[in-house]
Each structure stands twice: as C-alpha cells, then as structure tokens.
Amino acid sequence: MITQRSLRMTAQRKVILEELTQVNTHPTAPEIHSMVRRRLPHISLGTVYRNLDLLCEQGLVLRLPTQGGKQNRFDGDTKAHAHVHCTECGRVVDLLGMFSHAEMEDRARRESGYHIVSHRLEFVGVCPLCRAKVTI
C-alpha cells in the first residue's frame, strides 16, 4: 500500500521549486544549489538533492537523465514535451508541439504490455550557436 506522506513546505523546498519553475534551462543539482544559495546562503547540496528526489516523487519536478549519463538535469515543467540536448555545450532546450504524447504512450502500451507511466523524447544534436563554432 502506498501511503501519501505529509510534505512540509519548508523554506528550502519552496525556494527550490520556485527557482526551478521560473527557469527553462533544465539545471543540474549543483546548478540549482547555487541558484538557491542566492536566497538561502546556508542551504546544503545534500538538502537540494533530498528535495529534488521528493519533488520528483510527488511529480512536481521531472528528472532528465542526459546523454552521457552520470548527471541528471531537472525540469520544473511537468507537461509532456520533448527535449533537444546539444552534444557540444550540454544545453537542453524544450520542444513543444511535437507529436501527440497521449497517442505515443498508448501505442507503447499496446506494443509492450507495460503499464506506461511517462515517457521522454530526447533529441541529440548541435545547437545553432555551437554549429557556428564546430566543424561537423
């Protein structure tokens, strides 16, 4: 059985969520830490990780494993949308108006027999800024 534990709205949790929803850069945990530190100078990195885990569990934040692995990025926008990940600078950008996400999940469910919870459509490429610098 799943018991919905009570989530206290602490100053730290509130600020993390606020910073994350005000930004569309999909920051990493250490990046979020330094963003939040401007408002809460004594917050620890451990607290940031703990809160991100909780917020992901609650579905208020999305965890985005990125190409290369190892590091996660976080997204305060939980509406279904696709991402493009630049191989050069690591930036992750949103793509809206792609495909019908409901239809994708429905097709996946029919083909796999899985109970589909969510999905992630990540394109990998080189962003216009980096294209100018890099010989492809």
Binding residues (CB under 7 A) for DNA: these are 5-13, 28-30, 40, 42-47, 49-51, 53-54, 68-72
100 interface partner picked from a copy of itself, DNA, none, CB below 5 to 8 A per type: none
Binding residues (CB under 8 A) for a copy of itself: these are 1-2, 63, 65-72, 82, 84, 86-87, 93, 95-99, 104-105, 107-109, 111-128, 131, 135-136
136 interface partner picked from DNA, a copy of itself, none, CB below 5 to 8 A per type: a copy of itself
Which of 88, 48, 52 is closest to 68 using CA atoms? 88
CB-based contact 82:98 (threshold 8 Å): yes
Q: Determine the Cα–Cα distance for residues 101 and 13; give it in Å rounded to an integer.
A: 30
121 interface partner picked from a copy of itself, DNA, none, CB below 5 to 8 A per type: a copy of itself
Query: Cβ 3 to DNA, closest distance in Å?
Result: 9
Both structure tokens of 86: 């630049």
- Which amino acid belongs to residue 46? G
Q: Determine the Cα–Cα distance for residues 72 and 81; give it in Å rounded to an integer.
A: 17
Of 9 and 136, nearer to a copy of itself (C-beta) is 136
Q: Determine the Cα–Cα distance for residues 109 and 1; give it in Å rounded to an integer.
A: 24
Query: Cβ 23 to a copy of itself, closest distance in Å?
Result: 19
3-state secondary structure of 84: strand
